[in-house]
């Protein structure tokens, strides 16, 4: 979709055709990431309880059937339906009691019943469990009014998992859903990929730690805490976080040090075209290869991707919304690929706009959008910001994701379908 096309009315500034000619599309950039980024690091075995957020290196197979035995789905009475002759009601002797966690001793013979509790093994000879609400008990007998169906309220052995089946594939990140399946499969330990080691270098002479005193020309650092949080929710290992001055020699030193022990270096700022933008030259000084530099998107046009020794580099723009958006789109795909995840690019879905849009064509715009509901035709709708400001994050907490406005679209009427990428929660 994000195709860069000739522009009839380029307007002025950095969306002009001459400024766009070296930019690639979002999808081309994602293709280059997919082409170059192979899983980094080895694997290790962890107890299942410590494996949340890790990527599975070996598939998990069910060690036995789940559930492991036929068991009651309700508190009640186990009966044999074939022993119920004629029409009810029937009067049955209660001949056994089977709580959960105890083996059922003996088998049910003839018109009798076993008191049974949810999760307890169904005794031999029984083929149905009647809920206790459906019988009347008097001493050691029950009165059963309605004929139970064979199999009623019995959870059959293997009905959830057959022994030996793969329940979670290699390449899946383990969240609560996957961990539930691993536990049911009997996997006390799992083989997972080592966490991706990420180094963060936030550049700019003007940035000061959030909340610290600052001069009139200085601003608080948004990118360090924002990206530290993004890396944490992605399950990545932040091995270094530094501030870099706008100084080429200093950046060469810092990038060189990071490349020696990180799988992925993420930088912010200093990737545009001014003479104070030293990150790309420093990267080149170290012999790094740039795999792309500049994407036809707004915000985040100067985003860059490269390789240096055995490390990868993702150069995000300094503008905080640009840094956030490019991490969502490219950082997520790259870190997933390097972590060995099978599903890399975040999913997008189609949504419908609720207001007309007029914008400058040229770059694909990833605009903050909020899910509004569904329209009369059952289509999901979004509301959205009037424009994209790459330096503003004040309204970021109100948005649910990014809507993709195609590069060539100058006007879109209300009711248009657009792609929407929800923000990554993991």
Ligand X SMILES: Nc1nc2c(c(=O)[nH]1)N[C@H]1C(S)=C(S)[C@@H](COP(=O)(O)OP(=O)(O)OC[C@H]3O[C@@H](n4cnc5c(N)ncnc54)[C@H](O)[C@@H]3O)O[C@H]1N2
Would you say 43 or 326 has its CB closer to ligand MOO? Answer: 326
**By CB under 6 A, residue 322 contacts ligand X:** yes
CB of 355 to ligand MOO, least distance (A): 22
User: For residues 336 and 40, is the Cβ–Cβ distance under 8 A?
Assistant: no
- Cα 165–170–172 angle (5° rounding)? 105
How many Cβ atoms are within 10 Å of 1's Cβ, its own excluded?
A: 12
Nearest to 306 by CA among 284, 322, 323: 284
Q: Of 263 and 365, which has the nearer Cβ to ligand X?
A: 365
| Interface with ligand MOO, residue 390, by CB under 6 A | yes
Q: Is position 340 an interface residue for ligand X (rule: CB under 6 A)?
A: no
Per-residue contact string for residues 161-200; x = within reach of ligand X by CB under 6 A: ----------------------------------------
Decide: is 302 part of the binding site for ligand X (CB under 6 A): yes
By the rule CB under 6 A, 155 interacts with ligand MOO = no
Neighbours of 101 (CB within 10 A): 9
Kindly report the backbone phi and psi dihedral angles of residue 397, in degrees, each rounded to the nearest multiple of 5, phi listed first: -65, -15
390 belongs to the binding site for ligand X (CB under 6 A): yes
Are the C-beta atoms of 69 and 157 separated by less than 8 Å?
yes
421 binds ligand MOO (CB under 6 A): no
Is residue 271 close enough to count as binding ligand X by CB under 6 A?
yes
Which of 197, 298, 336, 359 is the binder for ligand MOO (CB under 6 A)? 298
* N-terminal to C-terminal alpha carbon distance within the chain: 25
The binder of 202, among ligand MOO, ligand X, none, by C-beta within 5 to 8 A per type, is ligand X
Choices 16-24, 113-121, 253-261, 298-306; region in contact with ligand MOO by CB under 6 A? 298-306
Among the listed residues 300, 306, 331, 340, the single contact to ligand MOO using CB under 6 A: 300
Residue 207 interface partner, choices ligand MOO, ligand X, none, CB cut-off 5-8 Å depending on type: ligand X
Helix, strand, coil tally for the chain in percent (to 5): 20, 30, 45
Q: Does 317 bind ligand MOO (CB under 6 A)?
A: yes
Closer by beta carbon to ligand X, 39 or else 244? 244
Which of 44, 277 has the CB closer to ligand MOO? 277
Helix ranges (DSSP H) in 70-172: none
153/223 with CB nearer ligand MOO:
223
What are the strands, taking DSSP E only, across 99-251?
A: 112-116, 128-131, 135-138, 141-144, 154-155, 166-168, 189-193, 197-203, 207-208, 219-220, 237-244
172 part of the interface to ligand MOO, by CB under 6 A: no
CB 224 within 8 A of CB 200: yes
CA distance 425 to 409: 29
Q: What are phi and psi of 151, to 5 degrees?
A: 90, -10
List 171, 244, 306, 317, residue binding ligand X (CB under 6 A)? 317
Rank residues 317 and 331 by Cβ distance to ligand MOO and give the closer one: 317
Q: How far is the CB of 295 from ligand X (least distance, A)?
A: 11
Binding residue for ligand MOO, selected from 155, 194, 195, 301, defined by CB under 6 A: 301
Q: How far is the CB of 350 from ligand MOO (least distance, A)?
A: 25
The Cα 114–Cα 129 span in angstroms is 9
Give which of ligand MOO, ligand X, none residue 269 binds (C-beta under 5 to 8 Å, depending on kind): ligand X
Which one of ligand X, ligand MOO, none interacts with residue 195, CB within 5 to 8 A by kind?
none
- Tell me how far the alpha carbon of residue 31 is from its chain's centroid: 20
Within 10 Å of residue 285's Cβ, how many Cβ atoms? 15
Please name the residue that has the structure tokens 């990118």: 223
Dihedral over alpha carbons 34, 318, 212, 224 (to 10 degrees): 0
16, burial (CB in 10 Å: exposed 0-12, middle 13-18, buried 19+): middle
**Positions in the binding site for ligand X (CB under 6 A):** 14, 19, 202, 204, 206-207, 219, 221-223, 268-273, 277, 299, 301-302, 317-320, 322, 390-391
């Amino acid at each position: 979709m994000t195709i860069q096309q000739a522009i009839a009315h380029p307007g002025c500034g950095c969306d002009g055709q001459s400024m766009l000619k070296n930019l690639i599309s979002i999808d081309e950039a994602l293709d280059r990431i997919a082409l170059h980024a192979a899983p980094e690091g080895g694997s290790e075995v962890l107890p299942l309880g410590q494996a949340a957020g890790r990527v599975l290196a070996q598939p998990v197979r069910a060690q036995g059937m789940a559930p492991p035995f036929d068991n009651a789905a309700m508190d009640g009475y186990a009966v044999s339906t074939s022993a119920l002759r004629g029409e009810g009601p029937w009067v049955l002797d209660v001949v056994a009691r089977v709580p959960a966690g105890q083996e059922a001793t003996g088998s049910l013979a003839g018109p009798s019943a076993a008191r049974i509790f949810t999760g307890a093994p169904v005794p031999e000879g029984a083929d149905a469990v009647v809920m206790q609400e459906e019988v009347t008990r008097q001493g050691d007998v029950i009165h059963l009014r309605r004929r139970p169906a064979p199999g009623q309220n019995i959870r059959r052995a293997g009905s959830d998992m057959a022994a030996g089946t793969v329940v979670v594939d290699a390449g899946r990140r383990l969240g609560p859903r996957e961990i539930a399946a691993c536990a049911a499969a009997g996997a006390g330990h799992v083989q997972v990929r080592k966490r991706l080691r990420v180094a963060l270098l936030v550049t700019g002479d003007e940035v000061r730690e959030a909340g610290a005193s600052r001069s009139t020309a200085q601003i608080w650092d948004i990118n360090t805490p924002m990206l530290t949080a993004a890396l944490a929710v992605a399950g990545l290992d932040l091995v270094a976080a530094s501030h870099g001055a706008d100084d080429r020699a200093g950046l060469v030193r810092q990038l060189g040090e990071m490349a020696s022990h990180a799988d992925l270096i993420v930088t912010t700022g200093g990737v545009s075209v001014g003479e104070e933008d030293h990150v790309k030259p420093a990267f080149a000084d170290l012999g790094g290869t740039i795999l792309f530099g500049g994407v036809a998107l707004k915000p985040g046009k100067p985003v860059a991707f490269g390789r240096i020794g055995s490390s990868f580099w993702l150069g995000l723009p300094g503008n905080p919304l640009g840094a956030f958006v490019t991490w969502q789109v490219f950082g997520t795909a790259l870190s997933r690929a390097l972590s060995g995840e099978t599903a890399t690019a975040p999913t997008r879905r189609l949504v419908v706009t609720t207001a007309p849009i007029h914008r400058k064509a040229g770059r694909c715009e990833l605009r903050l959008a909020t899910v509004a509901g569904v329209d009369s035709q059952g289509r999901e709708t979004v509301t959205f910001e009037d424009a994209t400001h790459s330096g503003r994050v004040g309204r970021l907490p109100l948005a649910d994701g990014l809507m993709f406005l195609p590069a060539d679209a100058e006007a879109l009427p209300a009711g248009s379908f657009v792609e929407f990428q929800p923000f990554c929660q993991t």
